[in-house]
A and B are shown apart, each in its own frame.
Chain A
Amino acid sequence: MPDRFRTRIAWFAGALGILILSSGLMIASVTQWRLHLLAGLWLLSLPARRLIGQHGTTADHSVRGLMLVATLGFAAIGLQLARNQVTQSEATLRAVASLAQPVAVEQPQPIFPETDPAERTSLGSARTYPVVINVGTRGRIVDRNGVVLAETVDGRRTYPNPALGHLIGFQSRLYGTTGLEARFDAQLSGVATLSPTTILEARLLGSAVEQVPADLTLTLDSRLQAAAQQALGERAGAVVLLDVPTGAILAMVTYPRFDPNQLVLPEPATQADVDRVQAAWAELNARSDAPLLNRATQGRYPPGSVIKTLTAAAALDSGVLADPSATVTCPNLLPTEAGAPPVRNAVDNLFRRTGDPSDLVRVYAFSCNTAFAQIGLSLGADRFLEYARRFGLQMTDTRAGPPDLRDIPAEVGTIANEASFLQRPAALADTAFGQGQALVTPLDMAQMAASVANEGRLMRPYLVAEARAGERVIYRAQPETLRQVVSPETSRRMLDIMRTSVEIGYAQPIALPGINIGAKTGTAETPRGVPHSWIVAVAPVEQPRYAIAVIVEYGGEGSRSALPVAREVLAAALEVTP
């Protein structure tokens, strides 16, 4: 018994000795320490095993074994803690400090990613060079006679004619680029004179590019533009003057308008300049009369009686009316369908002027609503719609394509909100003489007049004739026939009808000495009560050169406000004294 006791003491002492001695091992010898710990605990377990005893069931015995294991295990953790926190703590602290590469720096990145070349989707440093195309040397914009409309002076874009903001737009560091400046930016900056691959090469290799800024020549005629501006004066509205054979825009006026110069910052700009430009921009945007809107291409108005030109052309072209002398009546009232109010003329007893029965020429000249309602109904919704489409008017719910004019922002005129609308007789009758849902731009109406006058061909309207970089022409507009709207025969008949409207009808006041003019006035009802005043006209009838459309917002009857404007502009264009 004492012997066994002594053995146990020896084991115990040995274990303690191993543990105490080895706890001083350097931190680098941690494996050695772990082995010593294991050995020490094993030695400790030998005497401790005696404590378990043999009493109880096997299971109890085993559980006591587990208790011993748990005790020794947690004792091991205690010893490990003593080593970590006391005997080796200073060494650990020094070792961490001496790692010398402070940890806060990003983890040493794998500088050399050993990707399999076959897996690579992109090679090289992916470096690109910025390609600077100097905006200081920007091309000029001139009218058809070379009158400068936009140029860069001392690095600053200036617009000598301040009334063309709605066409030319502006190039502003604060508010971007608009109008022709935006649409033809590539030509004006000279980018268009470069091959795309030259730019790509410069981007890839840093090589130099040499672009030549191009000058734009417009179809606009400054003289006619000034005349139109003068004629419209300071009334809200728009004037569009087209060259009939080509579709070129000769004059395009809108009012109210804005001066693009006030939106351009000088270089270098002071804070005062910035404030001034910002104030001007804020004021333009805050105004309720929308000076930034180009009414000639973006203003959508009810067409009023000018649309009768379309209805008449459709009736003749489709054969619904055999010829201009075909019999048409002009009753005071025309019932269309049950429950709908009957169509009524603007003045009662109009048949006294048109005659009873009358013909197409006279009902057009005196703008008889009931007559055109009947013509519309005879055409039927499908045929009427087909002709509206040919003239470029679409349906709001199924806009078929972009506007014909590409050079500046424009809106597409619409004949109705949806096709089903015209299936109702009352709606078809209304639309045929100029009421209903139709909303058109002045440009649409000018195009209508021009195509009727141009042997039935609808031309694409355009504003930029060519872009020229030095001696090189890099862009030239070609007159483009969009489609044959009506036959040349119909065109001739319509010109006669329109001329008669001037000779005997409401459009009489437009007459100019020595010139035959064809025209149609229009009075479009507005919710406000005062109607919009419209006119479309072509001249000279024998060989039409000019087509014009004028709208004066809330200008009253067509012959009163719009007609004198058109007359003045045509007089200027035809160079006659009114």
Chain B
Amino acid sequence: MATIARLRARLGGRTLELELLITAFLFITICLAALIAGAGGRVRWVDLTIIGAFAGLFLTISLALALRDWGEEQMVLPIAALLAGIGMIMARRLEPDLVQRYGEVYGGIALKQVIWIFGGAVLLALVSFVPWRLQWLKHYRYTWLLLGLALVGATAVFGVERNGARLWLSLGFFQLQPVEMLKVLLVIYLATYLDDHRALIGRGVYWLGPLKLPPLPYLAPIVIMWGATIGLIIVQKDLGAALLFFVIFLAMLYVVSGRARYAAAGLFAFALGAAALYPLFGHVRVRLNAWLDPWSDPFGIGFQMVRALHALAAGGWAGAGIGAGDPTTVPESHTDFVFVAIGEELGLAGTLALTACYALFALKGYLIAIRARDGFQQLLAVGLTTAIAAQAFIIMAGTTHLIPLTGITLPFISYGGSSTLINFAMVGLLLRISASRKPPRTL
């Protein structure tokens, strides 16, 4: 009896997550129903199975968290589930149009995305429930560093080229995008490094002529990170990843040092570097010109942006309705431009809601950081949150013509295996950090 009462108490403490999850499932189910109704109205077992399994999987995780009673943050998981569900719906909605317009290679992306999401959820569960200690991340710092370097090296040597950029590692059954892996490894390593050198704040400031330079433990990584990201742009032609990595680094540096001007100087240096590359590298120039005025070459470099703007405009207030638009006229509508596809079919209402979701996720993530138990976990939480929030911002702002477009996925929603798996793993880490009542042995 006492056990049942305790269980009930535990479940009662986690009703918010449950309610939010159920709301998210309702939304996804309605979207799916609209999609099925639009396509002829035949309800099939496979749809019911998938939606049931999707709900079951996340509810199971939620219930397990409740039973374990470590007091994790309750809004992060439902937001991730909602976004992943939208991604699942979009892949299913875009597949037939992509196949019709661009050919059979796009066949099966809906099923694959479902599998990735389920795989991600399992990964999240593993990170949350398998007994391990967050401190391990700190202890094995050089392992992570070496792993990251090995990934970069392997991509440079064995990588597969697509669209002129060598960003993929072929693993046979699927193509790994090492940049996604690298993102997590970078956060972990930076958290370790910056936490170790936290004590040096305010010391060792020295002057270079009239310039006051930060202490070497800060200056060195700033210079190295700046060089690495510029190198990333030059060698791998991956502007998006470069910007993302640099933003993650600056955010963590800002948290450790408390000096906004380091971050501002870093951003300025990045802009300076990009500006210096402008005349030298075609891909940088194309991106910038397409951003400055896509209408000057609407069938060349501005093609994608003009198509995206047209799709967003066609969406209007309320959108065409799911399945009723023609979002595949925009190239890459299932990956980088999935936000535009949503904008055309769900309208301003849908895109604003999505923006709010990401904003909420960011705020919750930073709250987790503020409540974190120690400096390392705080930095880790900041890094992970920034990674997801900044990535969402970079691609949303890019596809809506706010900042120059850099190819990168929209977290949880874009089609893609590596990105989905890694993002769920990151949510798992965040949940683990947020657990306020975890037993000391699991620290």
> A-side interface residues toward B, CB under 8 Å?
27-28, 30-31, 34, 37, 56, 58-67, 70-71, 73-78, 80-82, 84-86, 88-90, 92-93, 95-96, 99, 101, 103, 107-108
Besides the known contacts A27-B295, A66-B386, A71-B362, 15 further A-B residue pairs in the complex with CB atoms under 8 A apart: A28-B295, A59-B256, A59-B258, A59-B375, A59-B378, A62-B255, A63-B378, A71-B363, A77-B393, A82-B352, A84-B313, A85-B348, A89-B315, A101-B299, A103-B299
Q: Are B312 and A84 in contact (CB under 8 A)?
A: yes
B347, CB-defined interface residue at 8 Å = yes
Residues of chain A lying within 8 A (CB to CB) of residue B254: 62, 65-66
Residue of B313, B370, B375, B402 near A88 (CB, 8 A) is: B313
A-B interface contact total, Cβ < 8 Å: 133
Residues of chain A lying within 8 A (CB to CB) of residue B184: none
A89-B359 Cα distance, complex, nearest whole Å? 25
Q: Closest approach, in angstroms, between the C-beta of A46 and any C-beta of chain B?
A: 14
Residues of chain B lying within 8 A (CB to CB) of residue A70: 359, 362-363, 366, 389, 393
B369, CB-defined interface residue at 8 Å = yes
Q: Are A63 and B369 in contact (CB under 8 A)?
A: yes
Residues of chain B lying within 8 A (CB to CB) of residue A27: 295, 309
22 A/B residue pairs, CB under 8 Å, sorted by A:
A27-B309, A30-B293, A37-B402, A58-B201, A58-B258, A59-B256, A62-B258, A65-B254, A70-B366, A71-B363, A74-B355, A74-B358, A74-B393, A77-B400, A77-B402, A81-B348, A82-B352, A85-B313, A85-B317, A85-B343, A86-B317, A101-B299
A56-B293 Cα distance, complex, nearest whole Å? 45
Q: Given A58-B258, A60-B370, A85-B315, are A80 and B309 neighbors across the interface (CB < 8 Å)?
A: no
Tell me the residues in window 241-277 of chain B with beta carbons closer than 8 Å to chain A beta carbons.
251, 254-258, 260
Residues of chain B lying within 8 A (CB to CB) of residue A56: 370
Q: Closest approach, in angstroms, between the C-beta of B298 and any C-beta of chain A?
A: 5
B396, CB-defined interface residue at 8 Å = yes
Q: Closest approach, in angstroms, between the C-beta of A292 and any C-beta of chain B?
A: 46
Nearest residue, chain A, Cβ from B360 = A74
A61-B363 Cα distance, complex, nearest whole Å? 14
Residues of chain B lying within 8 A (CB to CB) of residue A89: 312-316
Q: Are B356 and A74 in contact (CB under 8 A)?
A: yes
A81-B400 Cα distance, complex, nearest whole Å? 7
Q: Are A85 and B351 in contact (CB under 8 A)?
A: yes
Residues of chain A lying within 8 A (CB to CB) of residue B314: 89, 93
Interface flags, B325-361, vs A, CB<8A=1, else 0: 0000000000000000001000110011001101100
Interface flags, B206-244, vs A, CB<8A=1, else 0: 000000000000000000000000000000000000000
Residues of chain A lying within 8 A (CB to CB) of residue B91: none
Q: Are B401 and A30 in contact (CB under 8 A)?
A: yes
Q: Are A34 and B402 in contact (CB under 8 A)?
A: yes
Interface flags, B297-324, vs A, CB<8A=1, else 0: 0111001001001101111110000000
Residues of chain A lying within 8 A (CB to CB) of residue B280: none
> B-side interface residues toward A, CB under 8 Å?
201, 251, 254-258, 260, 292-293, 295, 298-300, 303, 306, 309-310, 312-317, 343, 347-348, 351-352, 355-356, 358-359, 362-363, 366-367, 369-370, 375, 378, 382, 386, 389, 393, 396-397, 400-402
Residues of chain B lying within 8 A (CB to CB) of residue A99: 298-299, 306
Residues of chain B lying within 8 A (CB to CB) of residue A71: 359, 362-363
A70-B316 Cα distance, complex, nearest whole Å? 25
A101-B370 Cα distance, complex, nearest whole Å? 55
Q: Are A78 and B352 in contact (CB under 8 A)?
A: yes
Q: Are A82 and B255 in contact (CB under 8 A)?
A: no
A322-B33 Cα distance, complex, nearest whole Å? 107
Nearest residue, chain B, Cβ from A84 = B312
Q: Closest approach, in angstroms, between the C-beta of A156 and any C-beta of chain B?
A: 50
Q: Are B310 and A96 in contact (CB under 8 A)?
A: yes
Residues of chain A lying within 8 A (CB to CB) of residue B348: 81-82, 85-86
Nearest residue, chain B, Cβ from A108 = B299
Nearest residue, chain A, Cβ from B260 = A65
Q: Closest approach, in angstroms, between the C-beta of A574 and any C-beta of chain B?
A: 77
Residue of A31, A62, A65, A80 near B397 (CB, 8 A) is: A80
Q: Given A85-B347, A108-B299, are A77 and B397 neighbors across the interface (CB < 8 Å)?
A: yes
Q: Are B370 and A64 in contact (CB under 8 A)?
A: yes
Residues of chain B lying within 8 A (CB to CB) of residue A61: 258
A535-B295 Cα distance, complex, nearest whole Å? 93
Residues of chain B lying within 8 A (CB to CB) of residue A75: 359
Residues of chain B lying within 8 A (CB to CB) of residue A82: 348, 352
Q: Are A107 and B299 in contact (CB under 8 A)?
A: yes
Q: Are B363 and A90 in contact (CB under 8 A)?
A: no
Q: Are B355 and A90 in contact (CB under 8 A)?
A: no
Q: Are A80 and B400 in contact (CB under 8 A)?
A: yes
Q: Are B378 and A67 in contact (CB under 8 A)?
A: no
A81-B356 Cα distance, complex, nearest whole Å? 12
Nearest residue, chain B, Cβ from A85 = B348
A50-B347 Cα distance, complex, nearest whole Å? 34
Nearest residue, chain B, Cβ from A101 = B299
Q: Which 6 A-B pairs have the closest CB atoms?
A: A92-B313, A89-B313, A58-B258, A74-B359, A70-B362, A85-B348
A65-B386 Cα distance, complex, nearest whole Å? 12
Residues of chain B lying within 8 A (CB to CB) of residue A96: 298, 306, 309-310, 313
Q: Closest approach, in angstroms, between the C-beta of B195 and any C-beta of chain A?
A: 10
Q: Given A67-B363, A85-B347, A90-B313, are A76 and B370 neighbors across the interface (CB < 8 Å)?
A: no
A88-B315 Cα distance, complex, nearest whole Å? 12
Residues of chain B lying within 8 A (CB to CB) of residue A66: 251, 254-255, 366, 382, 386
Q: Closest approach, in angstroms, between the C-beta of A66 and any C-beta of chain B?
A: 6
Q: Closest approach, in angstroms, between the C-beta of B197 and any C-beta of chain A?
A: 14
A74-B310 Cα distance, complex, nearest whole Å? 22
Q: Closest approach, in angstroms, between the C-beta of B91 and any C-beta of chain A?
A: 22
Q: Which of B316, B370, B396, B402 has the most CB of A within 10 A?
A: B402
Residues of chain A lying within 8 A (CB to CB) of residue B312: 81, 84-85, 89, 92
Residues of chain A lying within 8 A (CB to CB) of residue B397: 73, 76-77, 80
A71-B365 Cα distance, complex, nearest whole Å? 12
Q: Which of A58, A59, A77, A85 has the most CB of B within 10 A?
A: A85
Q: Closest approach, in angstroms, between the C-beta of B262 and any C-beta of chain A?
A: 11
Residues of chain B lying within 8 A (CB to CB) of residue A30: 293, 401
Residues of chain B lying within 8 A (CB to CB) of residue A90: 313
Q: Closest approach, in angstroms, between the C-beta of A196 and any C-beta of chain B?
A: 45
Q: Are A63 and B366 in contact (CB under 8 A)?
A: yes
Q: Given A59-B378, A66-B254, A66-B386, are A74 and B317 neighbors across the interface (CB < 8 Å)?
A: no
Residues of chain A lying within 8 A (CB to CB) of residue B367: 67
Q: Given A84-B401, A85-B347, are A59 and B359 neighbors across the interface (CB < 8 Å)?
A: no
Q: Closest approach, in angstroms, between the C-beta of A94 and any C-beta of chain B?
A: 10
Nearest residue, chain A, Cβ from B259 = A62
Q: Closest approach, in angstroms, between the C-beta of A63 and any C-beta of chain B?
A: 5
Q: Given A77-B397, A85-B315, are A67 and B362 neighbors across the interface (CB < 8 Å)?
A: yes
Q: Are B355 and A86 in contact (CB under 8 A)?
A: no
Q: Are B359 and A31 in contact (CB under 8 A)?
A: no
Residues of chain A lying within 8 A (CB to CB) of residue B363: 67, 70-71
A88-B363 Cα distance, complex, nearest whole Å? 30
A30-B305 Cα distance, complex, nearest whole Å? 13
Q: Closest approach, in angstroms, between the C-beta of B347 and any C-beta of chain A?
A: 7
Q: Given A66-B251, A77-B393, A80-B397, are A85 and B295 neighbors across the interface (CB < 8 Å)?
A: no
Nearest residue, chain B, Cβ from A105 = B299
Nearest residue, chain A, Cβ from B349 = A85
A28-B302 Cα distance, complex, nearest whole Å? 13
Q: Are B313 and A78 in contact (CB under 8 A)?
A: no
A74-B343 Cα distance, complex, nearest whole Å? 15
A34-B347 Cα distance, complex, nearest whole Å? 22
Residues of chain A lying within 8 A (CB to CB) of residue B358: 74
A30-B293 Cα distance, complex, nearest whole Å? 8
A84-B306 Cα distance, complex, nearest whole Å? 11
Q: Are A81 and B313 in contact (CB under 8 A)?
A: no
